[in-house]
Amino acid sequence: MVEPNALRILVVNGKGGCGKTTIATNLAAAHARQGHGVALIDHDSQASSSHWLNQRAPDQPSIHLVQAHQRTAMYATRSFQQRLPSRISRIIIDTPSVVGDAELDHLLRGVSAIVVPVLPSSLDIRAADRFLQQLGNHRLLRSRPVPVATIANRVRPNTLGHTRLKEFLAQLDVPTIATFRDRAIYMRLADQGKGVVDVPEDREAAAELPQWQALLAWIDATDTRHRASPARATHHARSAYRQPA
Ligand SMILES: Nc1ncnc2c1ncn2[C@@H]1O[C@H](COP(=O)(O)OP(=O)(O)OP(=O)(O)O)[C@@H](O)[C@H]1O
Ligand SMILES: [Mg+2]
């Protein structure tokens, strides 16, 4: 069962390989460790989130998998939500690399917040710029705006790519909520059903934790804004995005 105040967090970007699954799975692990009932919805037919969750050991805080890429009527109508086992307060949605207009409409319905991972390459920056503009102009978000944030992913500090990405993100009208470094631990954990929060003894994982805390705090603030005043949860998605210089 989904709790009335459950948050639906959409991890999306119209570009492959930018870290959607890495962020969705780590987010699911982090919320589960916080004690939330978590559902991870895998919309990608590559089923990477499903693979990750299938590797998760039973002694880790549990996460409920919804394989929405199996396009049955149950997922189209969302009746699967009635079948979720425990009290679900966080729903994390992993999306495919290519999202058509109809699918984007479907994905945006009922979301509480949207996070867009962006990699430092110029191709990724251009794709993210286009996608953010598409999002900013989307009729569903114009009629019911929700908070949007970017995440700088696979960053190597003090490189040209890092500088370029920072400049691009700084001139957007949406906040950059976390910066994740390019670290081998993310690739290792992808095959273990764990997030960096599950291995704080690992030096690389520990170094990433403050950024995950920043992302979690932003999501929790979404919760507060929702309950305090739905209209205030909105202004980030309203603005027109500027092109990078
Ligand atoms: N911060 C990071 N540091 C190192 N490797 C990373 C990081 N983020 C993601 N990766 C690796 O980059 C690859 C692509 O990441 P991921 O699968 O999360 O992207 P995606 O956006 O879900 O891709 P797709 O569009 O194919 O679904 C994976 O091998 C993943 O382990
Ligand atoms: Mg993926």
Summarised one tens digit per residue, pLDDT across range 64-120 is 999 988 766 555 666 666 567 669 999 999 999 999 889 999 999 999 999 999 999
Whether the model clears a pTM of 0.85, i.e. scores above it, the answer is yes
Please tell me the class of the 2-237 domain.
Answer: alpha beta
Instruction: Quick: pLDDT tens for 16-46.
Output: 999 999 999 999 999 999 999 999 999 998 9
Calculate mean pLDDT across residues 179-202: 97
Residue with the bigger pLDDT between 48 and 2: it is 48
Q: Whose CA is nearest to atom 7 of ligand 1?
A: 154
Structure tokens, 98: 């290519």
* Cα 229 to middle of ligand 2, angstroms: 33
b or e along 138-160 (b: 16 or more beta carbons within 10 Å of the residue's beta carbon)?
A: bebbeebbbbbbbbbbbbeeeee
Residue with the bigger pLDDT between 237 and 216: it is 216
* Cα 15 to middle of ligand 2, angstroms: 10
Backbone angles phi, psi at 168, to 5 degrees: -60, -50
Of how many residues is the chain composed? 245
Res. 242: pLDDT tops 50: no
Residues with CB under 6 A from ligand 1: 16-22, 44, 46, 48, 97, 153-154, 180, 182-183, 186-187, 190
Measure the CA angle with vertex 95, ends 90 and 99; round to 5°: 140
Residue 148 β-bridge partners: 114
What pLDDT sits at residue 33?
98
Residues 8 and 112: beta-carbon distance below 8 Å:
yes
b or e along 99-136 (b: 16 or more beta carbons within 10 Å of the residue's beta carbon)?
A: beeeebebbbeebbbbbbbbbbeeebbebbbebbeebb
What pLDDT sits at residue 232?
36
Q: Whose CA is nearest to atom 11 of ligand 1?
A: 187
* Cα 47 to middle of ligand 1, angstroms: 13
Per-domain residue ranges for the chain? 2-237
Atom of ligand 1 nearest to the CA of 190: 31
Q: Which residue has the tokens 């991972």?
A: 117
